[in-house]
Amino acid sequence: MTRFAANIAEQIWDMKYRLKEADGTPIDITVEDSWRRVARDLASVETDPVAWEERFYAALEDFKFLPAGRILAGAGTGRTVTLFNCFVMGTIPDSMSGIFDMLKEAALTMQQGGGIGYDFSTIRPRGAEVKGVAADASGPLSFMDVWDAMCRTIMSAGSRRGAMMATMRCDHPDIEQFVTAKQDSARLRMFNLSVLVTDAFMAAVKADAPWDLKFGGKVFHTVQARDLWNKIMRSTYDYAEPGVIFIDRINKMNNLGYCEQIAATNPCGEQPLPPYGACLLGSINLARLVTDPFTPAAKLDPVALDRLVRTAVRMMDNVVDASRFPLPQQAEEATNKRRIGLGVTGLADALLMLGLRYGSDEAAAQTERWMHEIARASYLASVDLAQEKGAFPLFDAEKYLATGTMLQMDEDVREAIRTHGIRNALLTSIAPTGTISLYAGNVSSGIEPVFAYAYKRKVLQKDGSRTEEEVVDYAVQMWRDLKGDAALPDYFVNAQTLAPLDHVRMQAAAQKWIDSSISKTINCPEDISFEEFQGVYMEAFETGCKGCTTYRPNDVTGSVLSVSETSEKAPEADKGAEVVYLTEPLDRPAALEGATYKLKWPASEHAIYITVNDIVQGGHRRPFEVFINSKNMEHYAWTVALTRMISAVFRRGGDVSFVVEELKAVFDPRGGAWMAGQYIPSILAAIGGVIERHLIAIGFIAGEGMGLKSDPKAEVMVVGEAPRGAACPACGSYAMRKVEGCMTCADCGHSKCG
């Protein structure tokens, strides 16, 4: 009998967390094997590994404790991967050599699967003097473009999807350019952007006071604070970026404020971290801990919660010792402070089981009580670990208890820390749980409301056909099992109908007892006024949130997955789309039509010949395979590799025009070449240009730098329908939605942030 509550849960496990041989043969035969693998690996550092393995397995069983995806996929595999989710890289020096040293470190971290954050405020503004070279600085945004290209290169090399956060202080001279940078749809696509907003700036906004933009003690410009705030708000209103981070509050509430300063977060914002800071994540599944759901006796079992939290803290503490790290500085930072980020998922479902309306005062109060219980259990568990294994190396009882969230912690917990120390400097964080929530049976994600009670998921078959299956929220399915066809009560609300300030109320309630931060998206209706939208951010600031991220569907950003709250039906299946998305490659016909192009790279003695063969589908030609050949034997290995990789992508179907853009973005540090009056940054970029010309010639894309000539989303739009936005890059369905700061596909679980 399967442990999975839904087909999508088993498919997520198979795709993301199941250990397999290199050829795809499963090593984990069942999900119990995956739990056993993780439990055994994390228990291996214990003095009694057999006993702890059983306790760890019991926590993982039935999806009660959900370690983050990197732990589920990597623990016990013997692979050279990091089990940590979050990194903030070192402070970027304001020098060319230092900047590129940092770029190298970022590439090494991303290669192992770490999401990274950077503060670009330390780079001098555009136009500032660079002494000794008789030149002006190009500014931080120019270097962010380099980081962006690096991330895309790592992605196209086959590694884990890249995710980066860039922050900039609200008083940096280039802040206005930073705010509007992503309004160019082709720029900084690998970054999330957030402005570091200070208390002084918020006071200036309220007072409509002037605000100095300065660097290195020099004032470059003075603006009105309210004008700058309005520019940030307008960009977020229209483009969903940048986010806002209340950086002074983060540093004030940091338990380690006595030995570190924070200026950046990980890509989704739930982990503010110092330079080289690292954190791992895990979530308590609250939906599994409710007894007597949908009855007057319903409650979350406090004993089970306490026991599970204590076990989870020990497991996560062991990950610090079991994990590899891309850089030695990250390992040192992790072991010196032993930060962990234990959070929750299934909160909205648990509230529904208790008959509470998400966003109400009662639900917020209940959320605060649960977070308090989790904080107490976490800190007391870490005290127990300190007695057994020692406190974190930088622990100083007097300074620690006089800092951050410790000032509001219960006195008995403070006394225990004073007496015995504490193993982990920070313990709680609420991270994005989109994929692991699906894996756990489609429980509500993190502290988000239920997104949709049910929707139709399109499943792509090997022959390219689509079937549909219903995906039901965990609590809704439980209601159906218990109540049959009885209508859902009025307190069942979802993200489509919830008022923005209800979101803020829940985030603020949870934040009080979370010592790091929270990844949450505040969904706003398309017709929200700009003034009301600004009020959401002001409310977040006034009620103690550490940051704010919103999403308002519109013609620019597209919409989240559209589901009727009354009918519980998803959008109708796509009709007439010419793009076919496949899970298995197409079979090769015996004969194909194609064209061969000669490319003479100036720096190479021999020409390169590029053949692109096409297949006809639905009366239209599309690329099927590529062959790249040269007499130059120095090119042999990489041209063969490129031939195989591009052909494999083409044979999967779908909108493969991104291959062109990835190739064209590759730059050669040794220099490019001028060809036909245009500077080409590398030989790979030149190959990308050749393939692009072929795709234009066969009508697959509309023109240079453009996507599909026949836009699949245009063909399924109807008059009056809300904008859909982009298709999922993994499966092609229009089920992308923004959850906890990440664009996530409801059909296949693909997420930009992992």
| CA distances from residue 334 to 17, 46, 470 in whole angstroms, order as listed | 24, 19, 42
The bridge status of strand 278-285 relative to strand 86-88 is antiparallel
CA distance 705 to 702: 9
Q: Which amino acid is at 473?
A: D
- As to burial, measured by CB atoms within 10 angstroms (0-12 exposed, 13-18 middle, 19+ buried), residue 696 is middle
The Cα 49–Cα 55 span in angstroms is: 10
Catalytic annotation present for 270: yes
593 is catalytic: no
Give the closest residue to 174 by CA, choosing from 147, 134, 143, 202. Answer: 143
Question: Phi and psi at residue 666, in whole multiples of 5°?
Answer: -75, 130
Name residue 689's amino acid: G
CA distance 107 to 110: 5
Reading the block at residue 560, the tokens are 């989240």
**741 within 8 A of 519, measured Cβ to Cβ:** yes
- Structural contact between residues 351 and 363, judged by C-beta atoms closer than 8 angstroms: yes
Single-letter amino acid, residue 697: A
CA gap 84, 594 in Å, rounded: 46
Buried b (16+ CB within 10 A) or exposed e, 412-433: ebbebbeebbbbbbbbbbbbbb
- Rounded-to-integer distance, Cα 612 and Cα 621, Å: 12
CA dihedral (244, 246, 247, 253) positive or negative: negative
Rounded Cα distance between 233 and 505, Å, is 20
The Cα 67–Cα 55 span in angstroms is 15
Strand 278-285 vs strand 340-345: parallel, antiparallel, or unpaired? parallel
Cα separation, 301 vs 353, whole angstroms: 13
- The H or E element containing residue 371 is helix 361-389
Q: Which helix (H) or strand (E) holds 234?
A: helix 225-239
State the DSSP string of 98-161: HHHHHHHHHHHHHHTT-EEEEEGGGSPPTT-EETTTTEE---HHHHHHHHHHHHHHHHHTT-SP
Active site residue 661: no
Count of CB atoms situated within 10 Å of the CB of 152:
18
d(CA 496, CA 449): 9
Characterize 23-57 residue by residue with b for buried, 16 or more Cβ atoms within 10 angstroms of its Cβ, and e for exposed.
eeeeebeebeebbbbbbbbbbeebeebeebbebbb
Are the C-beta atoms of 114 and 85 separated by less than 8 Å?
yes
Given the residues 86, 151, 268, 731, select the one marked as catalytic: 268
CA 102 to chain centre: 21
Other beta carbons within 10 angstroms of residue 128's beta carbon come to: 19
Instruction: For residues 520 and 495, give the distance between their C-alpha atoms in angstroms, rounded to a whole number.
Output: 12
Check 255, 266, 318, 424 and give the catalytic one: 266
* Chain centroid, CA 558 distance in Å: 18
**Residue written as token pair 């693909």:** 750
Q: How far apart are the first and last CA of the chain?
A: 29
Of 739, 737, 742, the C-alpha closest to 753 is 742
- Least Cα distance to 596 among 623, 628, 643 occurs for 628
What is the Cα–Cα distance from 628 to 112, expressed in whole angstroms? 29
- Residue 190, token pair as written in the block: 């690998």
The active-site residue, picked from 270, 568, 625, 662, is 270
Q: Any idea which residues carry the catalytic annotation?
A: 266, 268, 270
